[in-house]
């Protein structure tokens, strides 16, 4: 939750959060599972630039620890060393 700046919102029901806050909570849930493979569909939708930067850092940390991330997106994300497949 800290990586996505959600600490202050921890006690608020997700249904009361804004679109961006809900998106960040969803991504935090994926990160908290400890799953080695993350499947992210349009993870940057509804996020501001600061939150996108936090998302990129979270993905980078997961990848640097041996994790795999499959991202489907129309928005640009900085994912150095990632393989891009354009469909």
Domain ranges, residue 43: 2-72
Sign, CA torsion 73/75/78/82: positive
pLDDT tens, per residue, the chain with 87 residues: 788 878 888 888 889 998 888 998 899 999 989 999 999 999 999 899 999 999 999 999 999 999 999 999 999 999 999 998 888
Asked if residue 81 belongs to a domain, the reply is no
pLDDT at 71: 96
Q: Domain holding 21: CATH number?
A: 3.40.50.300
In this structure, the number of other CB atoms found within 10 A of the CB of residue 20 comes to 16
pLDDT at 86: 83
Which alpha helices (H) appear in the chain, and where do they start and end? 19-33, 49-64
**pLDDT > 70 in the chain, percent:** 100
């Amino acid at each position: 939750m800290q990586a996505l700046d959600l600490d202050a919102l921890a006690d608020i029901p997700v249904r009361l959060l804004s679109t961006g806050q809900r998106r960040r909570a969803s991504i935090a849930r994926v990160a908290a599972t400890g799953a080695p493979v993350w499947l992210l569909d349009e993870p940057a939708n509804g996020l501001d630039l600061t939150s996108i930067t936090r998302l990129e850092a979270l993905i980078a940390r997961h990848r640097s620890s041996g994790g795999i991330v499959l991202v489907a997106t129309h928005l640009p994300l900085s994912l150095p060393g990632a393989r891009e497949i354009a469909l």
